[in-house]
């Protein structure tokens, strides 16, 4: 055991100067204090020994701190080793219980679950048991599998990335703060060519040849502009026959703003809906399609609609350069595009169309708004005649005809019929007998 000392002062060989004798870590040390005064020597002794004791205490504290740190590390290691791991089978229920997850709608959650189920089946075949064992290389390999083997389109590919990145982010705290393996997964550029709308002849063909629930489903797409989820899951209590309105909170925005769209019932749609007796108007309007949609999120329903379109002679896919798979250009969603375009063509203001379609921005609405060649031609014909190059001046009569033609192109059919009925009156037909032309009703 190392010898310790408080230090001893003494005079050497009857000298006048005082010396100090002390030990540090068992080593004997002698040093001159440089003074012959006893009190001054004692003060220096206390100063030197005090500094030594302070250094010794600091070293003891550092040693204790190191011991505590090592013990904490060992305890943390033991706790980490004993902490239960979340298996891939347990991950989805754990995600649903997590308070940190976003409040997604029912159909969005079902879509996320399908993405997770497919991924967990793939990753467990690679020998992974717990989600913490997933690496970034696994994430890269899975997205390559989705792209090259499953041949997912850009939209489904990007939704897969989004869903898996979200699940890992929400479960990360329960997994010891693991790094998100999909954090650096990149999305694919979306197809810039959206669905096209249907022509009048195509609409007439698909609507008049449909039967049963398919007939009603297509009518809801044409006259309400519903997405497939809303058309399949529409309830009778969302149809107000007294006010002649359909009120439906879109499934896509239900979790965010819960605001219903209000759509007047078209006479053709009302006729179809009223075919169901009043005493049977309970629950789902389309019980068959509703039950199937809740099982597979519209997969078989989309196939049924596509097969009907094929029977009507419609081409639903288009091969495009740079894509491995043909792009879908016509589907049930095309009816939504058609609804928006028909409303605009009928003179309905764009803000009203946006409210009925449930679009949250004008940019989204522009994707659905398709302008036909005759509409473009009518817009050009409505421009004034400015023949400045030939030196001639525009004729008032020509300008008037252009204005009349524009009014005819833009005005709703109801107003045109009212104007025609006025023109057929005797006093209008014989203007020389009339004092002044009557006002055209608004």
Look up the CATH number of the domain holding residue 250: 1.10.443.10
Measured CA to CA, the distance from residue 335 to residue 256 in angstroms comes to 25
CB of 34 closer than 8 Å to CB of 17: yes
Q: Are residues 71 and 99 in the same domain?
A: no
**For the residues 3-25, what does the mean pLDDT come to?**
79
Q: Position of tokens 């204090």?
A: 33
CB 172 within 8 A of CB 99: no
Can you tell me which residue has the tokens 């989705």? 146
In a domain, 42, yes or no: yes
Residues 345 and 261 in one domain: yes
Same domain, 211 and 344: yes
Instruction: Tell me how far apart the alpha carbons of residues 391 and 38 are, in angstroms, rounded to a whole number.
Output: 126
Distance CA 421, CA 384 (A): 29
Residue 102's alpha-carbon distances to 105, 161, 171, 286, in angstroms, are: 9, 16, 12, 30
User: Which of 325, 340, 370 is a domain's end point?
Assistant: 370
362 and 270 co-located in one domain: yes
Q: What are phi and psi of 261, to 5 degrees?
A: -95, 145
Are 78 and 24 contained in the same domain? yes
Query: How many other C-beta atoms lie within 10 A of the C-beta of residue 101?
Result: 17
Write down the pTM of the prediction.
Answer: 0.53
Residue 317's pLDDT is 85
Minimum mean pLDDT range among 40-49, 308-317, 405-414, 429-438: 429-438
Average pLDDT over residues 142-168: 90
Domains in the chain: how many in total?
4
Range of the domain at 144: 88-175
| pLDDT classification of 241: cutoffs 50, 70, 90 | very high
Please tell me the predicted confidence (pLDDT) of residue 29.
83
Residue 362 in domain: yes
State the average pLDDT over residues 321-326: 66
State which of 82, 115, 142 marks the end of a domain: 82
Q: Are residues 331 and 399 in the same domain?
A: no
What pLDDT is stored for residue 259 in this prediction? 79
| CATH number assigned to the domain comprising residue 123 | 1.10.150
Say what angle helices 373-381 and 396-410 make with each other, to 10 degrees: 150
Q: What is the mean pLDDT of residues 197-223?
A: 91
Do 244 and 321 reside in the same domain of the chain?
yes
DSSP 8-state secondary structure symbol assigned to residue 175:
G
For the stretch 243-293, pLDDT in tens is 998 888 888 777 667 778 888 888 999 999 999 999 999 999 999 999 999
Residues 155 and 222 in one domain: no
The predicted structure's pLDDT at residue 435? 39
Same domain, 267 and 352: yes
pLDDT in tens, 355-393: 776 655 554 445 454 545 554 455 445 444 444 444 444
Among the listed ranges 17-21, 59-63, 95-99, which one has the minimum average pLDDT value? 59-63
**343/353 Cα distance (integer angstroms):** 7
pLDDT average, residue stretch 318-333: 77
Q: How many CB atoms lie within 10 A of CB 228?
A: 23
Is pLDDT of 168 > 90? yes
pLDDT at position 417 is 63
């Amino acid at each position: 055991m190392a010898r310790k000392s408080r230090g001893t002062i003494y005079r050497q060989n009857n000298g006048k100067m005082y010396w100090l004798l002390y030990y540090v870590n068992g080593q004997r040390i002698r040093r001159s204090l440089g003074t012959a005064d006893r009190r001054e020597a004692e003060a220096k002794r206390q100063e030197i020994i005090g500094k030594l004791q302070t250094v010794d205490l600091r070293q003891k504290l550092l040693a204790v701190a190191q011991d505590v740190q090592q013990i904490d590390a060992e305890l943390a290691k033991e706790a980490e080793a004993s902490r239960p791991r979340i298996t891939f089978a347990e991950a989805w229920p754990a995600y649903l219980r997590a308070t940190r997850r976003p409040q997604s709608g029912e159909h969005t959650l079902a879509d996320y679950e399908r993405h997770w189920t497919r991924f967990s089946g793939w990753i467990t075949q690679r020998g992974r048991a717990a989600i913490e064992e997933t690496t970034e290389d696994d994430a890269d390999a899975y997205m390559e599998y989705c792209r090259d083997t499953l041949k997912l389109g850009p939209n489904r590919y990007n939704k897969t990335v989004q869903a898996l990145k979200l699940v890992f982010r929400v479960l990360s705290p329960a997994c010891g703060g693991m790094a998100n393996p999909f954090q650096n997964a990149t999305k694919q550029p979306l197809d810039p060519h959206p669905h096209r709308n249907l022509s009048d002849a195509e609409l007439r063909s698909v609507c008049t040849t449909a039967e049963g629930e398919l007939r009603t489903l297509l009518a809801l797409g044409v006259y309400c502009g519903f997405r497939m989820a809303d058309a399949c899951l529409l309830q009778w209590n969302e149809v107000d026959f007294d006010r002649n309105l359909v009120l439906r909170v879109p499934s896509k925005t239900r979790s965010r703003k819960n605001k219903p769209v209000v759509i007047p019932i078209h006479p053709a749609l009302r006729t179809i809906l009223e075919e169901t007796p009043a005493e049977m108007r309970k629950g789902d309007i389309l019980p068959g399609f509703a039950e199937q949609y809740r099982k597979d999120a519209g997969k078989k329903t989309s196939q049924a609609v596509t097969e009907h379109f094929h029977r009507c002679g419609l081409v639903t896919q288009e091969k495009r350069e740079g894509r491995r798979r043909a792009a879908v250009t016509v589907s049930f969603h095309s009816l939504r595009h058609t609804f928006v375009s028909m409303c605009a063509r009928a003179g309905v203001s764009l803000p009203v169309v946006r409210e009925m379609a449930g679009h949250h921005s004008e940019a989204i609405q522009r994707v659905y708004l398709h302008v036909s060649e005759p509409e473009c031609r009518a817009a050009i014909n409505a421009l004034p005649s400015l023949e400045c190059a030939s030196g001639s001046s525009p004729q008032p009569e020509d300008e008037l005809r252009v204005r009349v033609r524009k009014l005819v192109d833009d005005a709703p059919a109801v107003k045109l019929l009212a104007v025609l009925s006025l023109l057929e009156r005797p006093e209008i037909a014989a203007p020389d007998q009339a004092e002044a032309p009557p006002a055209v009703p608004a």
